[in-house]
Amino acid sequence: DGGITQSPKYLFRKEGQNVTLSCEQNLNHDAMYWYRQDPGQGLRLIYYSQIVNDFQKGDIAEGYSVSREKKESFPLTVTSAQKNPTAFYLCASTRERNTGELFFGEGSRLTVL
């Protein structure tokens, strides 16, 4: 079955450590996105990528980094520079650019101890 796989589902990190969240899709979608979800809040865009080897900052990119070396993969690194990293992170992709119609993974919950 086609879909988006995020891993790990739960992750604990000590302050000062970088952590990388994996996102893999087998939908053959060109565009991929990372969102952050906080309790009682909507989703906020961190980074997005429309094609391989290209990505753009979203609304809250500070303290995060991404890469897009393969069409299927769009990993997110939460760096120690991110002041408040505890959150639920959602990866998404879209089959058509510029439509707003996204397919989401099941998310990764990061907790900083």
Partner 1 sequence: GNSVTQMEGPVTLSEEAFLTINCTYTATGYPSLFWYVQYPGEGLQLLLKATKADDKGSNKGFEATYRKETTSFHLEKGSVQVSDSAVYFCALYYGNNRLAFGKGNQVVVIP
Q: Which stretch binds partner 1 (CB under 8 A): 11-19, 61-69, 73-81, 104-112?
A: 104-112
Residues 6+ away with beta carbon under 8 Å from 75: 20, 21, 22, 23, 66, 67
Q: Is 53 helix (H, G, I), strand (E, B) or coil?
A: coil
40 touching partner 1, by CB under 8 A:
yes
Q: Which stretch binds partner 1 (CB under 8 A): 12-20, 39-47, 64-72, 74-82?
A: 39-47
Choose which of 15, 53, 54, 98 interacts with partner 1 (CB under 8 A).
98
End-to-end CA gap in the chain = 36
78 touching partner 1, by CB under 8 A:
no
31 touching partner 1, by CB under 8 A:
yes
- Cα separation, 101 vs 95, whole angstroms: 8
Residue for token pair 């998404």: 92
Instruction: Name the site residues for partner 1 (rule: CB under 8 A).
Output: 4, 6, 31, 33, 40-45, 48, 50, 56, 90, 92, 97-107
